[in-house]
């Protein structure tokens, strides 16, 4: 008997997944370099340089694909603008994180090379999550990102780091099991792992196989919720964030979360959209609970990293809103509008998070502490850091003329448009709560005298670059959100 | 009454179902004892038992190749590797103080609730009658698997190599850090 | 020139950024020079714009699309600027007073370690205020509205090491924020009703009856919108009952009081009501509220001013009272009279504050009981203060006379004799309290211990210029110039105006002179003893001296309950939340002490919570799971 094996030509693969291929190749190259070079050689500079170049090349390749659509395998791996905007976001974040970690030799010296290529592989995993339209591919991407993240969190030589990695690993494994189990239910009912086909089958199967389908949906939702740290599946986040090297914390908070959203939206939109109004209420509830709990819990934190961790949990709540409100009125125009709002806020959030963690990195290095006390009187020590941190904090709280406000505004607008007035009100309320604890930190930085000798703190050039980029982005998107917001709905989002 | 009987009723007691229940009980028991054992060696052995039971399940489902691979890789290679690792390293008995039960009770209740819901969902679904023929002839399962892997799933197949590399390197890094 | 109106706020902004770049250790002279130069350029530009407007009338706003969004009918938000006769006048007033205040501060703030920072804040304020004035729509106005509020907060609390200053800054911030919430709600309401933030669009919608939301009719909507906007205006302009922050704000440096809390920012509320007059005009109820709140504020401020012992507080209450006059004028639809009073008041009140600042600078106290006899020692300050006091009292031919009389005449013409009476009594009080200050400060025997000296030219020059304006600014709208200012402003439809007839003029002059005379008898000549008066009228005296117990009332009705609630939350926080936190902390410590604990303890809890989360998720979606099974 003969089976015709249908191969995939390299040209096709290159067309669809060139950025991933470049980054993967760069990752393996770095592994080789790492093994070949003597440990005394300045690995850090070389590997970071290679990684940066690879990211830039991949970024250019991604940019050139905008507006095109293609698929690999029988539609299991997609090239569309939805995937591309997310990939650009991931690569941008990774670029900033790499720059930021240029100065973080101190605690992760032994693992410099690994640090860089694991970060690249994690980025590849995130990109796969954004692009795949197949449950299996999706899961592989998710695992690449997760496993790299577990290791990255555990890189520091401290018990906190090991503890964080451990907790992340265990809870992450539970989440993966949930996702996989849920996927198996969906596969069982539809007989396919392909999202769009599954969605078509589920349209009819929804009523006859309701219990199974809904259980599968719920299990997947729970698993994804762990990844994007939605309350009550958020428990791992503060510990992992606290234990990880600070740039990695930024990566988890920004890129990892964005990847989770990219995956979440793709899966639920492709597979379950037909019965959206029925299950969409779940999202609304999760969004509300997450917003409130994240912001409330942040108030009692004294460690700035933990505070930012809880705040990022709260932000996940805001990010759930645009998709949640689609339940109210699900149609094309609305979808693109809400996708734009989601993406805008993700980008804004990634920038301010990267910036805040960049400041934290520098401060923690000088003060040897991540406690809020380290920030006391920061203005006297480094006006740049204090000013930038203040901007990032008020942006997270949603101060007008910062990107945080513009993003929240678009999201709230979507909620109001579809009649979820109370959700918009809740967003406003939690924002006010957020102001309370962020302003405490701002006041501490500006109005109090620093503890210890009033030396001024130098900001390393690379970290300063990250801070400035984040600052310009945060203010730029706040003052002129139209620049980005007008171009987003015009994208060829899902290639229809 | 009717609802409950419809959950559990309707079995046809054939050799297959008997084998299924025997294997299921074996797997569940092995998994539970795994959690109860104090010695790492015992744990490794009972996880080997879980792997074997799963291989039996695959045979029942007509996935012969998968069952074979399961025995070869999981029950064989991985369990043996674990045993080696345990024998070659120092290992203390993990003395877990039994904090009596609030958490265990809650966990038990939660798990029971989850199990009940799943059972309910499966049993109340009107499944289509099982086709007499398996999707592929038993001896062709290798071909079928290979074909799927190298056509529809070639992208994830290639990506798994990245995943495995990451896992391997990560394990090495974390282990080396402990030194 | 009008097309370049954006330069007017832009130049102070550039100066602000320049000072920011130079840092806090910049030389005093350099900072002052940059600041004064920038505001001077703004002043020149404003004057050119003013002339253009006077010749060419109003212009269409210059707008750029800032943001377009929304499915369905697209929403477009615009940003830009607009020049009309009202804000051309405001530009001149703001930049003129700013220039003089920045010059004055060179002397007043000399030697302060944060001199440069002071100028930064002032320039930021000037930018925000000018930006507020030329904003073409509510949204942009609101941004600048908050910015001036922020600057006010920073400047009131400039000497934040003084606990009173920090408390005053907080109070001003919180109280005005109360009003701002109303304003924001009003703006959103109007936007929902009309789909636009633009003043003119909203005015047009009102006229064509396009103003309605399904749950409220056009009339109710106009009233609600106007009242919400007025709430914001009342907060900023310190109208009863939100007036309590302004006297406390006197803890800031005196130039700040002159610029922000007399001439410009507090007038922003009046400006806002004037700018959105079409909205108020559509609702008689709202107009009445504005008129009576204004009247009450006018008499209340004046009555409290009678007995205060702190020179700046007297002038602060005077400001509250005068702002009340303006609101009262707007409330009886005397649009241009109110704006006219805003115009003259800016000069003579800035003058009074700066002169008081000059005195404070010389004697280093604000207590009237420790001044006296400064006429000979500080002749320039004394005589300019006298100009300001005469203008405030409304003695002809000084500026205040013309504008105040026009408001009073309008109340009569509008058929509101009660308001007229309130205004007259307030005028009597005004003349009395300001001359009480004058006599206590400049005549009699010096009761302080520091030897006072006249201030240098950087401080006296602004005084002299302002004194000239206090004398002559009113002539722009006087009958003998043919009401030039009123004609320049033009009347929005619905505004009614009445020139003050000789009768009103005579009465108000007599009332003013009566007040001045009484003050002279009590504090100048000492013919009657003020102590005897206060004893015989002690309930009234106590009431006035304790500011009608507003602070105490708010303390009892709002602050205490809030604190009690806070205490309750605190209890919950400490007993329950803190307990949980401490538990978590101890758990973390326990975990950190041994790796074994990590693997056995907390992570299992996390796993358990995740499991329970899934169960809860299933439980809440039970109906989804069950569905409508066929």
DSSP string, A43-93: HHHHHHHHHHHHHHHHHHHHHHTTT--EEETTTTEEE-HHHHHHHHHHHHH
Across the range C600-625, mean pLDDT stands at: 77
> Is the per-residue pLDDT at C578 higher than 60?
no
pLDDT band at A41 (very low <50, low <70, confident <90, very high): low
A21, pLDDT greater than 90:
yes
Given an 8 Å threshold on Cβ–Cβ distance, is A118 in contact with B166?
Answer: yes
| For residues A121-148, average pLDDT | 93
- pLDDT band at residue C630 under the 50/70/90 scheme: very low
The pLDDT tens digits for C333-384 are: 888 888 889 989 999 999 998 998 888 888 888 887 788 778 888 888 888 9
Q: Is B159 in Cβ contact with A151 (below 8 Å)?
A: no
Q: What percent of chain C has pLDDT over 70?
A: 85
Shortest Cα–Cα distance, C253 to chain A (Å): 19
CA separation for the pair C142, C423 (Å, rounded): 31
> How many CB pairs below 8 A link A and B?
101
Could you report the predicted ipTM of this complex, rounded to two decimals?
0.87
* Cis, peptide link before residue A232, omega less than 30° from 0: yes
From C596, C605, C611, residue closest to B110, measured CB to CB: C611
Q: Which of A157, A159, A288, A448 to mutate to test the interface with C (most CBs of C within 10 A)?
A: A159
Res C595 pLDDT > 50:
no
CB distance C615–B113 less than 8 Å?
yes
Residue A154 at interface with chain B, using a CB cutoff of 8 Å: yes
C284-326 confidence digits (pLDDT tens): 888 889 999 999 999 888 888 888 888 888 888 999 999 999 9
Q: Is A5 on the interface with B (CB under 8 A)?
A: yes
**Numbered residues of chain B with Cβ closer than 8 Å to any chain C Cβ:** 94, 96, 103, 106-107, 110-111, 113-114, 117, 121
What does the mean pLDDT of chain C come to?
81
Q: By percentage, how much of chain C surpasses pLDDT 90? A: 8
Interface membership of C596 toward B (CB under 8 Å): yes
B154: confidence class by pLDDT, cuts 50, 70, 90: confident
Q: Of A77, A140, A208, which is closest to B163 when you measure between CB atoms?
A: A140
pLDDT greater than 80 at residue C431: yes
> C71 vs A167: CB contact, 8 Å cut-off?
no
Q: Do B111 and C611 touch (CB under 8 A)?
A: yes
Q: Which two tokens stand for residue A413?
A: 């607008």
User: In the prediction, which pLDDT does B8 show?
Assistant: 55
Four-point Cα dihedral A270, A276, A281, A285, nearest 10? 10
SS3 A244: coil
Task: Please give the Cα distance from C269 to C186 (Å, whole number).
Answer: 14
Contacts with C620 from chain A: Cβ below 8 Å: 282, 285
Per the CB < 8 Å rule, is A279 touching C624? yes
| Token couple for C10 | 């832009």
Residue C594, pLDDT above cutoff 50: no
- Please name the residues between 191 and 220 in chain A that touch chain B, using a CB distance below 8 Å: 208-212, 214-215
Name the residue among C596, C608, C614 with its Cβ closest to that of B103. Answer: C608
**pLDDT tens, B37-59?**
777 888 888 888 999 999 999 88
Say whether A6 and B143 touch across the interface (CB within 8 A).
no
Confidence of residue C44 (pLDDT cuts 50, 70, 90): very high
Q: How far apart are CA A29 and CA C628, in angstroms?
A: 57
Least confident of A458-467, C280-289, C567-576: C567-576
Q: What's the token pair of residue A454? A: 């009033």
Mean pLDDT of chain A: 84
Nearest chain A CA: its distance from B119 CA (Å): 10
Q: Check pLDDT > 80 for residue A22.
A: yes
Chain C hits for A215, CB-CB cut-off 8 Å, are 618, 625
Distance CA(A247)–CA(A252), nearest Å, equals: 9
Whether pLDDT at A183 is above 90: yes
Query: What is the pLDDT at residue A4?
Result: 47
Find out whether C274 and C339 touch, Cβ atoms under 8 Å.
yes
DSSP letters along B90-143, please?
-----------SHHHHHHHHHHHHHHHHHHHHHHHS-PPPPPSS-SS-GGGHHH
Residue B103 has pLDDT above 90, yes or no: no
Q: Give the pLDDT score at A1.
A: 38
Q: Given C609, C626, C630, which is nearest A232 (Cβ)? A: C609
Residue of chain C minimizing CA distance to B92: C596
pLDDT (0 to 100) of residue A329: 63
Q: Parse chain A into domains and list their residue ranges.
A: 274-496
Cβ distance A167 to C606 less than 8 Å, yes or no, reads yes
Strand, coil or helix: what is A405?
Answer: helix
Which residue of A163, A166, A417 is in closest CB contact with C70? Answer: A417
Chains that touch B (3 or more CB pairs under 8 A): A, C
A429 touches chain C (CB under 8 A): no
Query: Over the stretch C463-482, which tens digit does the pLDDT of each residue have?
Result: 888 888 888 888 887 777 77
Put simply, the answer to whether B94 touches C605 (Cβ < 8 Å) is no
pLDDT at position A374 is 84
Binned at pLDDT 50, 70 and 90, residue A129 comes out as very high
Please tell me the predicted confidence (pLDDT) of residue B45. 87
pLDDT at residue B162 tops 60: yes
Parallel, antiparallel, or unpaired: how do β-strands A77-79 and A70-72 relate? antiparallel
The mean per-residue pLDDT over the stretch A352-372 comes to: 87
% of chain A residues with pLDDT over 70: 93
- Contact: C611, B107; criterion CB under 8 Å: yes
CB C387 within 8 A of CB C423: no
At A322, the pLDDT band (50, 70, 90 cuts) reads: confident
Residues of B in contact with A114 (CB under 8 A): 169, 173
Distance CA A51, CA B162 (A): 17
The reply to whether B166 touches chain A by the CB within 8 Å rule is yes
Query: How is residue B175 written in tokens?
Result: 């282990």
The Cα of C608 is separated from the nearest Cα of chain B by a number of Å equal to 6
- Ranked by mean pLDDT, the top range of A374-383, C29-38, C111-120, C163-172 is C29-38
Hey, which chains touch C, using 3+ CB pairs under 8 Å? A, B
Q: Which residue has the higher pLDDT, C626 or C191?
A: C191
Comparing A84-98, A342-356, A446-460, C403-417, which segment has the lowest mean pLDDT? Answer: A446-460
C600 pLDDT band (50/70/90 cuts)?
very low
Q: How much of chain B, in percent, has pLDDT values that exceed 90? A: 15
Asked if the C-beta of C609 comes within 8 angstroms of chain B's C-beta atoms, the answer is: no
Q: How many other CB atoms are there within 10 angstroms of residue C281's CB atom?
A: 22
Q: What is the pLDDT of residue A333?
A: 64
CB contact under 8 A, C65 and A222: no
Asked whether the beta carbons of residue C608 and residue B107 sit closer than 8 angstroms, the reply is yes
Of B117, B162, B176, which has the smallest distance from its Cβ to A121's Cβ? B162
C-alpha distance from C95 to closest chain A C-alpha (Å):
26
The reported pLDDT for the residue numbered C415 is 82
Residues B44, B56: Cα–Cα separation, whole Å: 19
The single-letter DSSP state of residue A274 is G
pLDDT, one tens digit per residue, over C129-184 is 999 998 888 888 988 988 888 888 888 888 877 888 888 887 888 788 888 888 88
Give pLDDT, residue C153: 85
pLDDT in tens, A471-482: 999 999 888 887
Q: How confident is the model at residue C70 (pLDDT cuts 50, 70, 90)?
A: low
Mind listing the pLDDT tens digit for each residue in A412-426? 888 887 778 888 888
> Using the beta-carbon criterion (under 8 Å), do A210 and C613 form an inter-chain contact?
no
pLDDT grade, residue A7 (50/70/90)?
A: low
- Flag whether residue C529 sits within 8 Å of chain B, measured between CB atoms: no
A278/C617 CB distance under 8 A:
no
- C625 interfacial to chain B (CB closer than 8 Å): yes
The separation between the first and the last C-alpha atoms of chain A, rounded to the nearest angstrom, is 40
A282 lies within 8 A of chain C by CB: yes
Reported confidence tier of residue A253, pLDDT bands at 50, 70, 90? very high
Say how far residue B20 (Cα) sits from the centre of its chain.
14
Is pLDDT above 90 for A350? yes
Higher pLDDT, A176 or C408: A176
Average pLDDT value for residue range A2-13: 65
Min CA distance, A64 vs chain C (Å)?
27
Contact B114 C614 (CB under 8 A): yes
Calculated CA dihedral for residues A345, A350, A356, A358, nearest 10 degrees? -160
Could you tell me the pLDDT band of residue C118, with boundaries at 50, 70 and 90? confident
Tokens, residue C495: 């505004």
Give A137→chain B minimum CA distance, Å.
5
Tell me what the mean pLDDT of segment C385-411 comes to.
87
Could B159 and A74 be called an inter-chain contact, meaning their C-beta atoms sit closer than 8 Å? no
CA–CA separation, A229 and A222 (whole Å):
10
Contact B121 C625 (CB under 8 A): yes
CB contact under 8 A, B162 and A144: yes
Q: Is the dihedral of CA C304, C308, C311, C312 positive or negative?
A: negative
pLDDT digits (tens, 9 = 90+) for C517-573: 888 887 777 767 777 767 777 677 777 777 667 777 776 676 666 666 666 655 665
Query: What pLDDT score was predicted for residue C572?
Result: 61
Chains that touch A (3 or more CB pairs under 8 A): B, C
**Taking CB atoms and an 8 Å limit, are B159 and A144 in contact across chains?**
yes
C145 and C132 in contact (C-beta within 8 Å)?
A: yes
C67 to chain A, minimum CA–CA distance in Å?
5
pLDDT at A106 over 50: no
pLDDT at C306: 82
Per the DSSP assignment, residues forming a β-bridge with A132 are A77
The CA dihedral of C299, C301, C304, C308, to the nearest 10 degrees, is -140
Per-residue pLDDT reduced to its tens digit, A159-173: 788 888 888 999 999
């Amino acid at each position: 008997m003969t089976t015709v094996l249908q191969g995939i030509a390299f040209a096709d693969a290159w067309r669809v997944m060139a950025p991933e291929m470049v980054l993967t190749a760069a990752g393996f190259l770095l592994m080789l370099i790492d093994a070949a070079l003597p440990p005394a050689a300045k690995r850090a500079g070389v590997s970071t340089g290679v990684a940066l170049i690879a990211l830039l090349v991949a970024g250019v390749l991604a940019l050139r694909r905008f507006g095109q659509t293609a698929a690999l395998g029988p539609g299991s791996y997609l090239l569309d603008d939805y995937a591309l905007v997310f990939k650009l976001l991931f690569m941008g974040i990774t670029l900033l994180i790499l720059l930021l970690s240029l100065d973080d030799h101190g605690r992760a010296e032994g693992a410099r090379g690994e640090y860089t290529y694991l970060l690249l592989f994690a980025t590849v995993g995130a990109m796969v999550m954004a692009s795949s339209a197949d449950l299996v591919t999706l899961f592989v991407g998710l695992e690449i990102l997760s496993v790299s993240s577990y290791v990255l969190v555990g890189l520091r030589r401290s018990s906190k780091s090991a503890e964080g990695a451990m907790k992340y690993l265990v809870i992450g494994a539970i989440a993966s099991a949930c996702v996989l189990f849920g996927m198996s239910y969906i596969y069982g009912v539809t007989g396919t792992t392909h999202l769009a086909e599954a969605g078509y089958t589920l349209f009819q199967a929804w009523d006859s196989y309701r219990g199974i389908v809904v259980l599968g949906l719920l299990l997947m939702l729970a698993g994804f919720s762990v990844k994007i740290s939605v309350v009550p599946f958020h428990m791992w986040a503060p510990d992992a964030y606290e234990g990880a090297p600070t740039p990695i914390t930024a990566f988890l908070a920004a890129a990892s979360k964005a990847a989770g959203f990219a995956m979440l939206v793709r899966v639920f939109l492709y597979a379950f959209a037909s019965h959206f109004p029925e299950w969409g209420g779940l999202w609304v509830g999760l969004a509300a609970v997450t917003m409130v709990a994240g912001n409330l819990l942040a108030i009692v934190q004294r460690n700035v990293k933990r505070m930012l961790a809880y705040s990022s949990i709260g932000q996940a709540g805001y990010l759930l809103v645009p998709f949640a409100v689609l339940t109210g009125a699900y149609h094309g125009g609305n979808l693109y509008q809400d996708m734009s709002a989601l993406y805008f806020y993700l980008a804004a959030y990634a920038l301010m998070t990267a910036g805040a963690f960049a400041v934290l990195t520098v401060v923690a290095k000088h003060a040897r502490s991540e406690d809020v006390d380290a920030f006391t009187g920061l203005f006297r020590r480094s006006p740049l850091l204090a000013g930038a941190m203040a901007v990032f904090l008020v942006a997270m709280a949603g101060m007008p003329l910062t990107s945080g406000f513009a993003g929240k505004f678009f999201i709230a607008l979507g909620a109001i448009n579809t009649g979820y007035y109370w959700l918009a009100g809740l967003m406003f309320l939690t924002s006010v709560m957020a102001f309370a604890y962020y302003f405490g930190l701002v006041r501490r930085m500006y109005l109090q005298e620093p503890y210890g000798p009033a030396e001024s703190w130098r900001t390393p050039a690379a970290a300063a670059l990250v801070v400035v980029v984040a600052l310009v982005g945060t203010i730029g998107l706040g003052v002129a959100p139209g620049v980005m917001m007008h171009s987003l709905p015009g994208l060829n989002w899902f290639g229809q | 009454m009717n609802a409950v009987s419809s959950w559990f009723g309707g079995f046809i007691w054939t050799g297959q179902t008997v084998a299924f229940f025997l294997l299921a009980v074996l797997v569940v028991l092995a998994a539970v004892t795994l959690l109860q054992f104090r010695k790492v060696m015992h744990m490794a052995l009972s996880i080997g038992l879980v792997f074997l039971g799963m291989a039996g399940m695959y045979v029942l489902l007509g996935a012969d190749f998968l069952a074979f691979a399961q025995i070869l890789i999981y029950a064989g290679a991985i369990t043996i590797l674990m045993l080696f690792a345990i024998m070659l390293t120092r290992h203390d008995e993990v003395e877990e103080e039994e904090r009596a039960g609030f958490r265990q009770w809650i966990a038990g209740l939660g798990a029971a609730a989850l199990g009940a819901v799943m059972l309910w969902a499966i049993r109340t679904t009107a499944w289509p009658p099982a086709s007499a023929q398996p999707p592929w002839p038993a001896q062709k399962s290798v071909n079928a698997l290979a074909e799927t892997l190298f056509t529809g799933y070639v992208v994830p197949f290639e990506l798994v190599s990245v995943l495995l590399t990451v896992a391997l390197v990560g394990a090495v890094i974390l282990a080396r850090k402990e030194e | 020139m009008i097309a370049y109106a954006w330069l007017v706020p832009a130049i102070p902004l550039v100066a602000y950024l320049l000072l920011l770049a130079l840092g806090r250790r910049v030389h005093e002279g350099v900072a002052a020079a940059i600041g004064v130069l920038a505001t001077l350029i703004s002043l020149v530009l404003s004057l050119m714009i003013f002339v253009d407007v006077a010749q060419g009338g109003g212009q269409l706003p210059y707008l750029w699309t800032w943001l377009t969004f929304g499915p369905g009918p697209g929403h477009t938000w615009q940003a830009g600027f607009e020049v009309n006769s009202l804000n051309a006048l405001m530009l001149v007033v703001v930049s003129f007073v700013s220039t003089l205040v920045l010059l004055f501060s060179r002397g007043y703030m000399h030697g302060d370690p944060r001199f440069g920072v002071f100028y930064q804040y002032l320039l930021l304020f000037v930018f925000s205020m000018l930006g507020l004035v030329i904003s073409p729509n509510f949204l942009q106005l609101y941004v600048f509205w908050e910015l001036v509020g922020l600057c006010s907060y920073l400047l009131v609390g400039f000497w934040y090491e003084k606990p009173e200053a920090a408390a005053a800054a907080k109070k001003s911030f919180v109280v005005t924020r109360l009003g701002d919430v109303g304003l924001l709600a009003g703006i959103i309401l109007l936007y929902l009703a009309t789909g636009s933030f633009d003043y003119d669009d909203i005015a047009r919608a009102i006229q064509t009856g396009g103003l309605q939301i399904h749950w409220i009719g056009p009339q109710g909507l106009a009233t609600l919108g106007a009242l919400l906007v007025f709430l914001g205006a009342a907060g900023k302009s310190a109208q009863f009952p939100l007036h309590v922050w302004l006297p406390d704000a006197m803890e800031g440096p005196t130039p700040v009081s002159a610029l922000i809390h007399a001439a410009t920012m507090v007038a922003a509320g009046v400006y806002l009501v004037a700018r959105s007059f079409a909205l108020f005009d559509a609702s008689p109820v709202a107009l009445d509220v504005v008129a009576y709140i204004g009247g009450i504020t006018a008499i209340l401020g004046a009555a409290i001013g009678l007995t205060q012992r702190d020179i700046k507080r007297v002038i602060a209450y005077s400001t509250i009272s005068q702002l009340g006059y303006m609101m009262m004028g707007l409330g009886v639809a005397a649009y241009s009279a109110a704006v006219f009073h805003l115009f003259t008041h800016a000069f003579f009140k800035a003058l009074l504050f700066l002169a008081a600042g000059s005195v404070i600078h010389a004697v280093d106290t604000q207590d009237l009981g420790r001044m006296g006899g400064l006429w000979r020692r500080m002749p320039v300050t004394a005589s300019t203060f006298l100009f300001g006091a005469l203008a405030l009292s409304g003695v002809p031919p000084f500026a205040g006379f013309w504008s105040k009389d026009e408001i009073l005449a309008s109340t009569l013409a509008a058929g509101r004799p009660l308001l007229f009476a309130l205004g007259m009594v307030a005028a009597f009080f005004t003349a009395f309290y300001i001359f009480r200050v004058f006599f206590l400060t400049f005549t009699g025997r010096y009761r302080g211990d520091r030897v006072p000296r006249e201030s240098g030219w950087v401080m006296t020059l602004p005084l002299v210029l302002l004194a000239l304006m206090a004398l002559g600014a009113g002539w722009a709208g006087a009958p003998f110039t043919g009401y030039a200012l009123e004609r320049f402003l033009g009347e929005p439809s619905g505004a009614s105006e009445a020139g003050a007839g000789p009768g009103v003029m005579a009465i108000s002059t007599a009332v003013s002179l009566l007040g001045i005379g009484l003050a002279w008898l009590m504090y100048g000549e000492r013919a009657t003893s003020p102590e005897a008066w206060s004893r015989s009228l002690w309930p009234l005296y106590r009431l006035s001296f304790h500011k009608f117990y507003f602070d105490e009332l708010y303390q009892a009705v709002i602050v205490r309950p809030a604190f009690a609630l806070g205490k309750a939350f605190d209890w919950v926080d400490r007993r329950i939340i803190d307990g949980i936190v401490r538990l978590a902390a101890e758990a973390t410590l326990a975990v950190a002490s041994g790796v074994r604990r990590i693997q056995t303890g907390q992570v299992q809890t996390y796993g358990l919570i995740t499991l329970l989360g899934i169960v809860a998720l299933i439980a809440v979606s039970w109906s989804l799971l069950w569905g409508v099974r066929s």
